[in-house]
Amino acid sequence: MGNSNVRRPYKGVFPVVPTVFDADGRLDLEGQKRAVDFMIDAGSHGLCILANFSEQFVLTDTERDLILDTVLNHVAGRVPVIVTTTHFASHICAERSRRAQQAGAAMVMVMPPYHGATVRVRESAIHEFYRTVSDAISIPIMIQDAPVAGTPMSAAFLAGMARELANICYFKIEVPQAAAKLRELIALGGEAIEGPWDGEEAITLMADLDAGATGAMTGGGYPDGIRQITDPYFAGRRDEAATAYERWLPLINYENRQCGLIACKALMKEGGVIKHETVRLPLQPLHPAVRAGLIEIASRLGPLVLRWGK
């Protein structure tokens, strides 16, 4: 265990780590460690585990704890690790967050409480939910503002929580018109907005960087490719970043629109990082034609993932 030497504010590329399963859908902890090692070698500034792209919704609580301890012990402070602790119940989310902090997490990421298509809570209850989580820990909280929650949270509401709640200071914005929301959030929240971040596999990355995003939480298959965009951008070379974005956009788009969370596993399997790209039922494997398209696009770009394990 142990926290990373990287200090706040956290910036750069923090991709989501897939949960690795064997051919029968059981946890493959050795494969999990190899996935983490690849992602660090590929230039990730930090990692995020147990997110939606990690299939957190198919894991038992015991499995969550096992992955948490395995990954944080294996990373051993090489990079900061964000742990997703989302749960509908305030006290359970707070307990998960406290457990993550004790294990060495640098930050927790939490979606607003929701269940199914219709079960939502009012704004005041969302505020109280995040207050409960904030009061339970002393590390930063990233609010994940994503369409899957179906919970509208205005920039003004988010900025208000950042000003009022001690640990609310990072925001992963991946709703439609993300760049506009990032601009408004930064303008309203000022110094309370420590980390305005891009998400959704970097499909809107350039627009979000122009709006002031300082971090990108992407899929885990090609952090080296995302850094070819963000590194020159943060160094003031926007034209170079835009050219790199245009080069990588076909793969970003294919992951986002055709493959979803399986893209990372397919790339890692193809490159010998992991032995299996299994997803748990009822999720289905990629259609062979879709998988072939993914590998063909990636091969033209040559990300590290396709040769790391070979």
Which phi and psi angles does 229 have, rounded to 5°? -95, -50
239 burial (CB, 10 Å; 0-12 / 13-18 / 19+) is exposed
C-alpha distances in Å from residue 62, one per residue of 7, 65, 178, 183, 264: 30, 5, 35, 40, 24
Question: Catalytic pick from 11, 172, 265, 269?
Answer: 172
Q: Which two tokens stand for residue 145?
A: 């503002």
Residue 172: active-site member: yes
Cβ contacts of residue 275 below 8 Å, gap of 6+? 22, 23, 28, 31, 269
Neighbours of 132 (CB within 10 A): 16
Which phi and psi angles does 107 have, rounded to 5°? -165, 155
Which phi and psi angles does 3 have, rounded to 5°? -80, 155
CB 255 within 8 A of CB 201: yes
272 burial (CB, 10 Å; 0-12 / 13-18 / 19+) is middle
Closest CA to 148 of 52, 239, 243: 52
CB 102 within 8 A of CB 31: no
C-alpha distances in Å from residue 113, one per residue of 72, 195, 210, 255, 310: 26, 21, 30, 27, 43
Angle at 139 between CA 136 and CA 140, to 5 degrees: 105
Q: How many angstroms separate the CA atoms of 204 and 177, rounded?
A: 9
Residues annotated as catalytic are: 172
